[in-house]
A and B are shown apart, each in its own frame.
Chain A
Amino acid sequence: MAADTPPPSAAPHSRGPAPRGDRPRKPRRQYVRKRKVCQFCVDKVDYIDYKNADLLRSFILDRGKIIPRRITGTCSRHQRWLKTAIARARNIALLPFAAGS
């Protein structure tokens, strides 16, 4: 996953790099890196419920591992809450611990 530009930090407060719209566009290699936004911040979530297995399931891999926030774009605070919620859900068999089957 080598990229020519360093990935922008996932911090929610920095509003991202300045728009570069008026740069001369090369058709090749020029792609807009879509800025990932914390899904929980967008939805203004204040509490991540461990009972909501369907929601939590979208933040774990099929193997059962938690998806890192550099992939999902979740902010650190929500990732922390998410982690707790997933841990609880795992305890009561709503989510898997690891690749079972």
Chain B
Amino acid sequence: MAEERFYELIFICQPDTPEPEIDKVIATLQQSIEEQQGRLEKLEKWGARKLAYRIGKNREGFYVFLAFRSRQSDLIKELERRLKVSEPVLKYLTVRIDEELKRQSKLAARRERRLARRPRKPAGESATAAG
């Protein structure tokens, strides 16, 4: 089985969509995530925000943000298909960020290690490595 991947998904709805309508879209996404054994980690409604550029005729959009883990890459296809066919959705973006998070923690760990040995003189460090 493929390793678990971490995704973030943002989609934008028409600003004049009634809230239950948006909840319905979210519910269908949640359902497909569950069906494919994904784990939803975060669900945030950012609400209506100004768009940086017009999408269609809209200057505003209702943002919804999801973060989830999954082993099935087909899940992304499924989610994006659902977003594409749902009426109020203007735009969506899925980003896989596990590798960036991995890199982040790696760098953080390295910095910590370096900080831990900082009290010593930076030079001549290799001589003490044998212990």
Please give the residue numbers on chain A whose beta carbons come within 8 Å of chain B beta carbons, in ascending order: 44, 46-47, 50-51, 88, 90-97, 100
Contact = CB atoms under 8 A, between A and B. Distances in A.
Contacts, number: 39
Interface of B: 10, 12, 51-55, 61, 65, 91-93, 95, 100-101, 103-105, 107-108, 111
B111 A44 contact: yes
10 contacts: A44-B111, A46-B105, A51-B65, A88-B95, A92-B93, A93-B51, A93-B55, A96-B52, A100-B52, A100-B54
Contacts of A88: 93, 95
Q: Name, among A91, A92, A93, A97, the residue most crowded by chain B CB atoms within 10 Å (CB to CB).
A: A93
Nearest to A88: B95
Given A46-B108, A50-B95, A88-B95, A93 B103 contact: no
Contacts of B92: 92
